[in-house]
Amino acid sequence: MFGYLIKRSLRWSSGILLVLFFSYAMMFYGAGDPIKRMFVDLREGSTSVDEAMIEKIRVSYGLDQPFPVQFANYLGKLMQGDMGYSIREQRDVMTMVRKRLPISMQLGLVATVLGALIGVPLGVVAALNHNRRLDALIVSVIVFINALPIFVTGPLLLVFLVLVLKIIDVPFGWKGIFDSQVILPVTVLALGPLPSIVRMTRIGMLEVMGNDYIRTARAKGLPERTVILRHMLRPVLIPVVTSLGLIMITLVNGAIFVELIFNIPGFGKLTLQGLQQVDYPIIMTVVFVGTIIVMVSNLLVDFVYPLLDPRITRD
């Protein structure tokens, strides 16, 4: 276990360093000047700005230095736990992340669990009724859901549930994960990965249904429920769990449209804000935190594997 964690830590360190290097390089050479952008926005698009003042502010943030020096300074501060100060918001970036990341983490986790609780049973039912009407119905619904992008699904459900059925009020803002207003945002998020979960479960079940050990289990007189849950579903869940880890990463890092539609002050909205304002500290912090989420999620998935299949070891 200790050696496994050491190997993972070394891979993480090199991976994070490469991600930060290329992200900083793309931001430095292609994102534009955040100080000039700030002055242009404040003057409502006017390009007439005081170059001397811009240069003075740029020097105060260390943005006048060449790329290697800026990147080295950024790494030095990062190793000390300093993620920088927002150029536009004039706030500590870590404070902003601490406030917004838990919101997106809660939404992503609940949406992932909801998608798994719905998608895995649907995939199992579709596989057990292969080439029958129920299988065709499930596949058709999944194809329809998959064809709708998230920025279409959100407004459609909003209009249907609020204006047509009138069963809920317009969800707006964030009042906690246990508030009824999160039902619609979580549903919209869960619909995104649902087709992939159903499809992977269905394909995996169809692959294992004809194996010899399944016929042996049935020949021993085991109940069909036991055969399905213990002998069929467990090996099928391995690729599904892998996809769930990636799905949660995507939901946390990429739930921009949902947070914009429902005005949820989450991590995705912070990402969009940093990109629009060319705010270097916010952009780099978003990249760094997103990378950590990816790596930790993959680590958790690796630890779940042996629980699903004892033949798989972390060594």
pLDDT single digits (tens) 257-293? 888 888 888 888 888 888 887 888 888 888 888 888 8
**d(Cα 169, Cα 172) in Å, to the nearest integer?**
9
Cβ atoms of residues 89 and 283 within 8 Å:
no
Q: Where in the chain is the domain with CATH 1.10.3720.10?
A: 97-266
Predicted confidence at residue 172, as pLDDT, reads: 74
**d(Cα 4, Cα 181) in Å, to the nearest integer?**
42
Give, for all 315 residues of the chain, the pLDDT tens digit: 566 667 767 777 788 888 889 888 888 887 667 777 776 665 555 555 567 777 788 888 788 888 888 889 888 888 888 888 888 778 888 888 888 888 888 888 888 889 889 999 999 899 888 889 999 999 999 988 888 887 788 888 888 888 887 777 777 778 888 887 888 888 888 888 888 889 988 988 888 887 888 888 888 887 878 888 877 888 788 778 777 777 777 777 667 788 888 888 888 888 888 888 788 888 888 888 888 887 777 777 667 666 666 555 555
Q: How many helices (H) and strands (E) does the chain have?
A: 15, 0
Predicted confidence at residue 118, as pLDDT, reads: 92
Options 3.40.50.300, 3.20.20.70, 1.10.2020.10, 1.10.3720.10; CATH for 97-266 is: 1.10.3720.10
Predicted confidence at residue 138, as pLDDT, reads: 92
Cβ atoms of residues 241 and 301 within 8 Å:
yes
Comparing CA positions, the residue from 169, 300, 174 lying closest to residue 246 is 300
Residue 92 — φ and ψ, nearest 5°? -65, 125
Predicted confidence at residue 183, as pLDDT, reads: 84
Predicted confidence at residue 122, as pLDDT, reads: 92
pTM: 0.77
**CA max distance for the chain:** 85
> At CA 153, angle to CA 149 and CA 156, rounded to 5?
140
Count CB atoms within 10 A of the CB of residue 245: 19
Residue 167 neighbours by CB under 8 Å, 6+ apart: 161
